[in-house]
Amino acid sequence: MKLRINTDRIIGKRDPMIYGQFIEHFHRQIYGGVYEPGSPLSDEDGFRRDVLDALRKIRVPVLRWPGGCFVSAYHWKEAVGRERKPSFDKAWRVEDPNTFGTDEYIKMCRKIGCAPYICTNAGSGSAEEMSDWVEYCNLENEGRYAKWRIENGSATPHAVRYWSIGNENYLGGEIGAKTKEEWGRLVEESAKMMKRVDPSIELSAAALSDVEWNVNLLKHAGRFLRWISVHSYWDGLWQENAPADYETCMAYTKTLPDTIQKVRGLLTAMGLEKQIRIAYDEWNLRGWHHPKVDTALTEEEYLQPRDKNDLNATYTMADAVFAACFLNMCLRNCDIVGMANYAPVVNTRGLIFTHPEGIVLRSTYHVFDLFVNYMGDVAVDGFAEDPPVMNALNRKTGETAMVDALDIVATRWSDRDGIAISAVNKDPASVHTLVLEPAYAGHRVRIFTVNGPSPDAFNDIGREEISLCAGEPLVYEEGMELRLAPHSVNVIQLS
């Protein structure tokens, strides 16, 4: 395939927050994940050093917390200060010790070097409770909540810039679900109070690609918002943990742009496309497995099955290739997509798996390493001639989708010369080649690749099949074919 690149035609400068992450009080994400006081692998504050090091390597820009569904019954005041008591988490039906709360979260963000992004309780909570949280985090010393923070050891404000009102309050199963009319009014009043506390904060609110829900939200609260929050999981495994195979996951990539296109169109129609950007603040190929949370009577039925989320064999090159295609989509739409948060970052379906002796870096971790550390920050126009296509059978529906075998995005750097091209080969069996036009004869070229020996390769304790490898530097010659291996994620750098 020939690729023509025009570096003068700029799509947009990508916000580094498209490489953001998310963590929730679910299963082993917090306790036994990032936070494990008493472990020989933890630091003096109880944070796993190996996890922090891995997160610093991929330069996590923003971390959304504490949920997720968890937040819709979470009362932040129970998890700050010296006197903390456990509470029953009504979202996931477990006891939370409340030893990890706002101050611990902020401390973790500072250790990683990322911006905090707090999601508030718009389920069982209130506008006042949300604005009290802003007081605690952002006011210098006015009022009882800022004084409480100082009492708790933080004389300097936490300065949390990003706040989300609610999680998935449009879902009937969410604690404190709302109708579209209720939602618009609650967001309006909550935003009003939160902005009165600190006018500098940037607010998001739960949305989806439903026109009526979003119109009602934006009509009431659009003037307060800088973000609109959307979520997607393509391989829904909530009740049955039957992960889709590689080919089915490639069929899912055909629908990747749908939500962005719908939300972009709505924002444009309402004249808000310059004011409000999209925060894709929960996304993953695989939905989390939590069966019978509403109906089961025993932990064997609803709690123990969650361990299946941590089966490392699940996270293959299918997850890596899909994640790369998602990030390519964000780059193509970086004029309006300003944040995306992989859900979650540790354990469950996360990038990193923790165990008592260390960590496993799953296939998707290496994709973030590749994009964060090797891609440029300015997306530019690229045109493919005769792109190869492939048929992908969705074995869950029985339907076959014709999808592009290659997913390509070109970038350049704003602070130095050079080009970096994300080139994803979805084809499970065939090599595809890329020829660059106009010719870059004389340029140095190097390919960085994430891949494994098969589409079903995975990493586990004592098993590393998927990694990021750097190819040998070459001098590009006119007409040279750049080889893209099957089921691979590549960044081609030209300098």
On whether both 284 and 432 belong to a single domain, the answer is no
Query: Mean pLDDT throughout 23-51?
Result: 98
Token code pair at residue 471: 């190819």
Given a cut of 90, whether residue 211 has pLDDT beyond it is: no
**328 neighbors 422 (Cβ within 8 angstroms):** yes
Tokens 């990539």 locate to 253
CATH for 22:
3.20.20.80
Name the helix (H) or strand (E) containing 448.
Answer: strand 444-451
**Boundary (domain end) residue, out of 351, 374, 397:** 374
On whether both 166 and 28 belong to a single domain, the answer is yes
On whether both 270 and 367 belong to a single domain, the answer is yes
Of the candidates 405, 459, 399, the one whose C-alpha atom is nearest the C-alpha of residue 427 is 405
DSSP 382-446: EEEES--EEEEEETTTTEEEEEESEEEEEEE-SSSS-EEEEEEE--SS--EEEEEES--TT-EEE
- What would the pLDDT profile of 130-178 be if each residue is shown by its tens digit? 999 999 999 999 999 999 999 999 999 999 999 999 999 999 999 999 9
DSSP 98-129: --S-HHHHHHHHHHHT-EEEEEE--SS--HHH
Residue type, 44: E
Q: What is the dihedral of CA 253, 174, 277, 349, to 10 degrees?
A: -40
On whether both 205 and 344 belong to a single domain, the answer is yes
Task: Identify the pLDDT of residue 250.
Answer: 98
Task: Identify the pLDDT of residue 39.
Answer: 97
- What would the pLDDT profile of 380-438 be if each residue is shown by its tens digit? 999 899 899 999 999 999 999 999 999 999 999 999 999 999 999 999 999 999 999 76
Write the CB contacts of 300 (distance below 8 Å, at least 6 apart in sequence): none
DSSP 333-352: TTTTEEEEEES-SBSTTSSE
Tell me the pLDDT of the chain averaged across its residues: 97
On whether both 341 and 404 belong to a single domain, the answer is no
Query: Could you give the CA distance from residue 204 to residue 230 in angstroms, rounded to a whole number?
Result: 10
Token code pair at residue 186: 């609650």
The pTM of this model reads 0.97
Quote the domain boundaries for residue 140. 12-374
CATH for 448:
2.60.40.1180
Given a cut of 80, whether residue 100 has pLDDT beyond it is: yes
Residues above pLDDT 70, as percent of the chain: 99
On whether both 134 and 77 belong to a single domain, the answer is yes
CB count within 10 Å of CB 447 equals 22
β-bridge partners, 400: 393
On whether both 283 and 430 belong to a single domain, the answer is no
On whether both 356 and 423 belong to a single domain, the answer is no
Query: Mean pLDDT throughout 376-383?
Result: 96
**Boundary (domain end) residue, out of 374, 407, 437:** 374
Task: Identify the pLDDT of residue 91.
Answer: 97
β-bridge partners, 342: 21, 283
The pLDDT confidence band at residue 478, using thresholds 50, 70 and 90, is confident
Task: Identify the pLDDT of residue 440.
Answer: 80
- DSSP three-state, residue 62: strand
Query: Mean pLDDT throughout 451-463?
Result: 98
On whether both 229 and 180 belong to a single domain, the answer is yes
Given a cut of 80, whether residue 209 has pLDDT beyond it is: no
**Boundary (domain end) residue, out of 350, 374, 398:** 374
**Is the peptide bond preceding residue 438 cis, with omega within 30 degrees of 0?**
yes
On whether both 352 and 269 belong to a single domain, the answer is yes
Tokens 């009740």 locate to 239
On whether both 67 and 94 belong to a single domain, the answer is yes
Query: Mean pLDDT throughout 455-463?
Result: 98
Query: Mean pLDDT throughout 291-301?
Result: 96
Query: Mean pLDDT throughout 278-288?
Result: 98
Number of domains forming the structure of the chain: 2
**Is the peptide bond preceding residue 68 cis, with omega within 30 degrees of 0?**
yes
On whether both 472 and 336 belong to a single domain, the answer is no
Given a cut of 80, whether residue 89 has pLDDT beyond it is: yes
Task: Identify the pLDDT of residue 102.
Answer: 98
